[in-house]
Structure 1
Amino acid sequence: MALTPLPSGDFLLETPGIAAVPTLEPARWAGGDVAVALPRGAAAAPLRRFLSEVEMWLHAQELNDTRRRRGDPPVTTLWPWGATGEPEPPERRATHGTPLAFGSEAYLRGLWQLLGSECRGLPGRFEDVASAAGAAGAVLIVDVGAELERDAECMLADAMSRLDARFVSPSLEALRRGEVDGVTLIANDTLVRLRRHSHLRVWRRARAAGLAGFA
């Protein structure tokens, strides 16, 4: 087995000899019971045993001694997740007019590398994205987990509210002013696409500002 750190802060775990089993992306389980979301069934037994070994390995790491001295909670396990089945060799494609990509998510970085481009770091506010993107548009992936790490006292709702204030609400305001052609919001399996004249569709209920309008 091999555990390789990625620039995004994630790790790539290679588990030859362990069958691929369905796993859940951690962002989909934010605020939920971790035990319920772990892989289950006979096929998941080897992976569960491996995770038990990871817990013992992390317990002895100097990293956790340092975190305890700082008053931070220890890192007790790793969360494995990813695609099941046989991987397919990626195909590199050169495209014109590719939107700019912002964020540190490993999958996004890989996609843009295959497109012959690169993924930029997430700026502090939407206005910086809009000025850099221009007509090509932009794709942003905001990480709630990273927001939680910045402030130990921050709760999930607080992190969502901060990201809303920095990116979602300003993008919707830019749409209302006609500064952008459209805004697409994706949260797990929910997709909302808004265009400049979406507010003229009178058969739709009025929405509150920001993320609250999509609750």
Structure 2
Amino acid sequence: MSLTVVIPAARFSAAQGVDPTLDLDLPGLRALLGRADLAETAGSSPEALLRGWFGAEAVGAAQLGLRLDWPDAPPGFWLRADPVHLRADRDAVLLLGHGGLGIDPSEAEALTGALNRLFGADGLHFYAPHPDRWYLRLDQDPGLTTTAPVEVLGSDIHPHLPRGEAALRWHALINEMQMLLYTHSVNDARELAGKPAVNSLWLWGEGPAPADLRRPFARVCGDDATLAALAVAADVPQRPLPPTLDGEVSGSDTLLWLDALSGPGRLGDLMAWREALQALDHVWLQTLLAAWKSGAIPHLRLVFPDSGGNLTAELKPATRWKFWRGAAPVRRLALA
């Protein structure tokens, strides 16, 4: 019986000697790092780690997302066309919002309806089966290379716009989309309500549909959309994250995805990141430590993915007898 726990955005830079965990009370994390066998491997994003486990490295994000959001989608070439919030900043335009914009289904329907009225004659068809995840259907491959929004969040969009032979045409189309969205009554109402405007679409996720994926776990548990989509595509049972550890989560060969640090980490919100780490330790890590010590979870593996290096902490049954291993400083998570 084993449990794999992935905690994205837990690693931090050690540059200039700054420790963002300073003065935090993290007994669960410190004990787990101290008792475990630690291994460093080549870095990866959390999504790349997931895709590697499922054998889905080449699968398009749009086709993968449709398995979760719209399994009966009509055939065609699909891109994600996610609603985003941009903000001009001197000579740059920053991507400051992707997901979590509080878009309700009626707003998504109104905005995609307006987009379809403007672009439908050009063969562009927009759909919003999920308020945060929109899709663009085309009759043929536009020959574009795109960038996932998670890699751009907080940065200037211009170096990351779609690339390819038809890139200039698509840049012009994106500008038209932005003008339509900027003047739409939905955004007028959102701004009056103090909500961020949905003032652009982020086109990305080209690639083939998933086929013959691996089943690396008996079940998965977490709220990440990519995790849920991969589980659906690979026919792996999946469930949302519960309030804390229960018997089903700690069952045999389960993947548990604890993603509370990713949001504040992407936005560089240090205070929110510290608060989320403190809560993660109290709600999950101390409970996981106790379950491993009692033998309820004989084999516990913690994975901390980061593009600068993945850290794995392995706690096996025999490790419980290595009582001389004490708590370790949290700076073991620091990237060199």
Instruction: Give the structure with the higher percent strand.
Output: 2
Aligned length: 196
Which has the higher Rg, Structure 1 or Structure 2? 2
Give the structure, 1 or 2, with the largest relative contact order (CA under 8 Å, sep 6 or more): 2
Structure 2 length as normaliser, TM-score? 0.47
Q: Secondary structure at the match of 1:133?
A: coil
Q: Which residue of 2 aligns with 1:203?
A: none
Distance 1:31 1:11, change over 3 A: same
- Distance change in 2, residues 1:165/1:25 (3 Å): farther
Q: How does 1:1-215 map to 2 (within 5 A)?
A: 1-7=124-130, 9-17=132-140, 19-40=142-163, 42-84=165-207, 87-88=208-209, 90-91=211-212, 98-105=218-225, 107-123=226-242, 128-129=244-245, 131-134=247-250, 135-140=252-257, 142=259, 156-167=269-280, 172-173=285-286, 177=290, 179=292, 181-187=300-306, 190-196=309-315, 207-208=329-330, 213-214=334-335
TM-align CA RMSD: 3.8
Deviation at 1:77, TM superposition (A): 0.3
Quick check: 1:178–1:196 contact (8 Å CA) kept in 2?
Answer: no
**Could you tell me which residue of structure 2 aligns to residue 151 of structure 1?**
none
Deviation per CA, 1:126-146, whole angstroms, max 9, x where unpaired? xx1455411332332637786
Report deviation, 1:26: 1.5
SS class of match (2:305): strand
- Between structures 1 and 2, the one with greater helix share: 1
Structure 2, unpaired ranges of 5+: 1-123, 323-327
Q: Deviation string for 1:11-63 (max 9, x for gaps)? A: 12223345232222112223222233223454422322221121122123222
- Alpha-carbon shift at residue 88 of structure 1 (Å): 4.1
Return the letter of the residue paired with 1:157. L
TM-score for both structures, normalised by structure 1: 0.68
Question: Which deviates more from structure 2 when the two are superposed, residues 186-195 or residues 164-173?
Answer: 164-173
Partner-residue secondary structure (3-state), 2:195: coil
Quickly say closer, same or farther: Cα 1:56–1:89, change in 2 above 3 A: same
2:330 is paired with a residue whose SS is: coil
- CA distance in 2 between counterparts of 1:80 and 1:122 reads 29
CA distance in 2, matches of 1:4, 1:103: 22
- What's the % identity of the aligned pairs? 19
Alpha-carbon distance, 1:69 to partner: 0.6
